[in-house]
Each structure stands twice: as structure tokens, then as C-alpha cells.
Amino acid sequence: MKVLSVLRVGLLALAALIGAVSMASAADGSISIRIVKAGFVVGGSAGDGVLTFQGRKYPLSVGGLSYGFTFGASETRLHGTVRNIRRPSDVSGVYAQGGAGAALGKGAQVVVLTNQNGAILELGGEQKGVIVSLDLSGLALSLK
């Protein structure tokens, strides 16, 4: 019984060490993206961007769909930080969100999103256009 307890504590310590080492190897980068969105009930978005990671620039493609109440069109430019990535391809994936918003002319945007690779986008920027939305949406980023 005592051997099992010591073994269990040893395994927990090893798991904690592995987790700490993997988190230590994660790095941050910066990102800029431009998204054009339009829709009537079902919306679509497309755009492009640039990831800057460890001194290199990587072009990005942006796409997405939304479903709910969406009416209008807008262009959004976002800039910010990508956290918890080990390599540029970690930023690729689907970022899901639900939200409500409206823009008439210009409006500010702030968003924090996470994908299946653990990449965290912290973005802020400006939205231009005429759009009203209450929807669920998915944003897909990929390296070009």
C-alpha cells in the first residue's frame, strides 16, 4: 500500500514537471488580420493577415461562417497577441464564438479566442460598416 502511494506521488510529480516544461517552451507572437463579413441570416467572412513569430512573418488566410440574426456588411481590422504557441502552425485552426453587436460607421472591437491547439488570440481593433448581428460564428485561420 505504501509503495502505491509513493508511486502515485512520483507519477504526479513527473506529470507536473512535463507540464511545466511544455508550457515553458510555448512562446508569444503578434498578429494582424482583416476580415470582411456580410450576411442575411447566414453570414460569411473572408480575409487575410500576418503572424509575426520569432522574428519571421507568416501570411494567413481567414474564413468563416455565422448563423443567427445577421444583416449587413462590415470590415474589421484586428491587431494583437498570439499566446501559447510553439510553432507558427499552432495558430491554424477554428476559433468559435457567440456574440451580439452592431456597427454603424465605425466601432471598436475587442475579442479573446482560443483554438483546438491551445493558441490564444487577444485582439483589438476597429470595425467599419453597417451590420447588426446576434449569432454563433466560427473563424478559421490557416497559414498560406
CATH number, domain with residue 131: 2.40.128
Which grid coordinates belong to 127?
470595425
Reference 141, options 30, 77, 49, 53; nearest CA is 49
Within a domain: residue 17? no
What residues make up the domain containing 73?
27-143
Within a domain: residue 72? yes
Let me know: does 123 contact 111? Beta carbons within 8 Å: yes
Reference 30, options 96, 76, 78, 93; nearest CA is 78
Within a domain: residue 103? yes
Within a domain: residue 112? yes
Let me know: does 121 contact 139? Beta carbons within 8 Å: no
Within a domain: residue 6? no
pLDDT higher than threshold 50 for residue 53: yes
Within a domain: residue 38? yes
Residue 46, strand partner residues: 36, 63
Which of 48-57, 69-78, 127-136 ranks highest by mean pLDDT? 48-57
Q: How many domains does the chain have?
A: 1
pTM: 0.74
pLDDT higher than threshold 70 for residue 72: yes
Q: What does the pLDDT read at residue 62?
A: 94
pLDDT bin (cut points 50, 70, 90) of residue 6 is very low
Within a domain: residue 16? no
